[in-house]
Copies of this chain bind each other. A is one copy, B any other.
Amino acid sequence: MIYNKNIDLHCSMNIIIREAISKDMSKVLELIKELATFEKEPDAVIVTKKQLINDGFSSSPKFKCFVAEINQEIVGMALGYPRYSTWKGPTIHLEDLIVTKSKRGLGIGFKLFSKFIHYAHELNVKRIEWVVLDWNKSAIDFYKKNGAHVLDDWRVAQMDFNAIKKFVNNEDF
Which interface class (under 10, 10 to 19, 20 to 34, 35 or more) fits A?
Answer: 35 or more
Please indicate the chain B residues that have their CB under 8 angstroms from the CB of A151 in the complex: 155-158
Min C-beta distance of A66 to chain B, whole Å: 13
Q: How distant is the Cα of A44 from the Cα of B129 in the complex, in angstroms?
A: 16
Interchain CB contact (< 8 A) of A167 among B134, B146, B160, B163: B146
Whether the pair A47, B87 counts as a contact (CB closer than 8 A) is yes
A3 interface contact, C-beta 8 A? no
Please indicate the chain B residues that have their CB under 8 angstroms from the CB of A131 in the complex: 154-157
Residue in chain B with minimal CB distance to A81: B84
A96 interface contact, C-beta 8 A? yes
Q: Which of A41, A60, A152, A154 has the most CB of B within 10 A?
A: A154
A-side interface mostly: mixed
Please indicate the chain B residues that have their CB under 8 angstroms from the CB of A147 in the complex: 159, 163-164, 166-167, 173
Whether the pair A86, B47 counts as a contact (CB closer than 8 A) is yes
Q: Which of A96, A117, A152 has the most CB of B within 10 A?
A: A117
A sample of 14 inter-chain contacts (CB < 8 A) reads A44-B88, A47-B85, A62-B82, A88-B161, A117-B159, A117-B164, A125-B161, A129-B157, A130-B157, A132-B157, A146-B167, A148-B158, A150-B155, A150-B156
